[in-house]
Structure 1
Amino acid sequence: MPIRIDRFENGPEDALDLKAGTQPHTVLTFLATNDEQAFTQTEIHEATDIPRGSVGVVLSRLEDRRLVRHQGRYWAIADGERLASYAAQQAAGSESTTDDYYGETDE
């Protein structure tokens, strides 16, 4: 999806789209559904069908926003206030998960 040139030139480089159907949303949904377990990147790839090379990038960007955590090779959904805020917004059907708090989107 194209973006405006002023956004391209002046926008944040680390924007993350958390809308349903995106790779970050898919990973968060998978980890949240399995919140009693931690997974390797390969296991996340196999469970979500996200390309193997993309899983690490997605996880790193989610970790930057404290929505996931990891130890060694294993990744799990985050616990804490930030994740609760994200989950509440998702449950409410809010579009605010795409605002500056989580990273801008093209809207």
Structure 2
Amino acid sequence: MSSGTIDIEEFENADGDEFEERTDTEEIVLFLDEHDDRAWKAAMIAERLGLKTDAVSAILSRLKERELVRHKRPYWAITDDTERLHAAYRLHRHHEQADEQYGAERLEELRTDEMEDVQ
């Protein structure tokens, strides 16, 4: 995670919303996507992101159930199904927007069959 500072060049070159807080799941998916040429052990992902290994392992297992990561013990890699990854990202963004607009308690009422397919 962040040390509280970043290089000024990184700051200047960043998009306006780039530094918004991300969930651990988002951090892991982004990390694996940015390093899609490698497979990683959960402990190394945890170390790189400043997270606990147990938490990373649990998140990776959930992502595997959704077919967003691949796993060959002990290594993990982002899915090679880019359409599925993009669909999951779109769903995630819609969920965030709905949460902001309607509140978390009403999200279940808005669930669609398309959402079920990705989850």
Verify same fold: TM over 0.5: yes
Residue 32 of structure 1 aligns with which residue?
Answer: 33
Please state if 1:57 is matched with 2:63: no
Residue 83 of structure 1 aligns with which residue?
Answer: 85
1:58 maps to amino acid: I
Instruction: Return 5+ residue gaps in structure 2 as ranges.
Output: 1-20, 100-110
Q: Which has the higher contact order (CA 8 A, sep 6+)?
A: 1
Taking structure 2 as the reference length, what is the TM-score of the superposition? 0.58
SS of the equivalent of 1:21 reads: coil
Instruction: Return 5+ residue gaps in structure 1 as ranges.
Output: 1-19
Taking structure 1 as the reference length, what is the TM-score of the superposition? 0.64
Pair member with larger Rg: 2
Same amino acid, percent of matched pairs: 31
**Equivalent-residue separation in structure 1 for 2:23 and 2:70 (angstroms):** 19
Name segments (4+ residues, structure 1) moved above 6 Å. none
Equivalent pairs counted in the alignment come to 81
1:94 maps to amino acid: R
Instruction: Provide Cα deviations, 1:35-61, integer angstroms capped at 9, x if missing partner.
Output: 110000111011111112211100000
1:71 Cα shift? 0.7
1:72 Cα shift? 1.6
